């Protein structure tokens, strides 16, 4: 099977994500040590600030985990859609100089995909496609919400 010439090598992105995660973990460890130092100072202010500082790495670790998990789940759905030939084909749509799809073309694509989704909104494939259409149309908030819904539908957690 020949390699797809339009498919970019993901390794640089994976290495950058790995580097950033390791850097954040190092930062969290240093921040945690500072929090423990503040708590061990024994003063009321030191203990209060130390507890607050210890909470920050926990929140950060949860955010990293949730973001990576969502990205992995989205990639899983994208691979399935590509293997089924159901990924949105935007190669022929007109683009701006920045590479973004022209607004009118993105809106027309969205209208087509919305009809499919409205016919069967409980199918994760339709929800995935409308999430991608929202993204191409520039509505990132709705795209994220629909992609989360598509993941939940895929795992049978949402109808």
Average predicted confidence (pLDDT) for the chain: 89
Compare 157 and 117 and report the one with higher pLDDT: 117
- For residue 7, name the pLDDT band (cuts at 50, 70, 90): low
The whole model's pTM is what? 0.75
Summarize pLDDT for 71-130 with one digit per residue, the tens: 999 999 999 999 999 988 888 888 888 888 888 888 899 999 999 999 999 999 999 999
- For residue 6, name the pLDDT band (cuts at 50, 70, 90): low
Residue 70 has pLDDT above 60, yes or no: yes
**CA 158 from centre of chain:** 19
Quote the percentage of the chain above a pLDDT of 70: 94
Summarize pLDDT for 30-41 with one digit per residue, the tens: 999 999 999 999
Print the SS3 string covering the chain: CCCCCCCCCCHHHHHHHHHHHHHHHHHHHHHHHHHHHHHCCCCHHHHHHHHHHHHHHHHHHHHHHHHHHHHHHHHHHHHHHHHHCCCCCCCCCCECCCCCECHHHHHHHHHHHHHHHHHCCCCHHHHHHHHHHHHHCCCHHHHHHHHHHHHHHHCCCCC
């Amino acid at each position: 099977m020949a390699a797809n010439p339009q498919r970019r090598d993901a390794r640089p992105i994976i290495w950058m994500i790995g580097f950033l995660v390791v850097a954040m973990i190092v930062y969290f460890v240093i921040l945690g040590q500072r929090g423990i130092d503040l708590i061990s100072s024994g003063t009321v202010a030191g203990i209060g600030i130390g507890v607050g500082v210890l909470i920050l790495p926990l929140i950060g670790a949860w955010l990293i985990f949730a973001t990576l998990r969502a990205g992995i789940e989205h990639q899983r759905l994208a691979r399935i859609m590509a293997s089924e030939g159901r990924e949105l084909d935007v190669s022929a749509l007109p683009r701006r100089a920045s590479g973004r799809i022209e607004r009118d073309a993105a809106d027309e694509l969205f209208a087509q995909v919305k009809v499919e989704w409205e016919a069967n909104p409980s199918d994760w494939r339709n929800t995935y496609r409308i999430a991608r259409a929202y993204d191409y149309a520039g509505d990132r908030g709705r795209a994220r919400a629909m992609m989360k819904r598509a993941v939940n539908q895929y795992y049978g957690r949402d109808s």
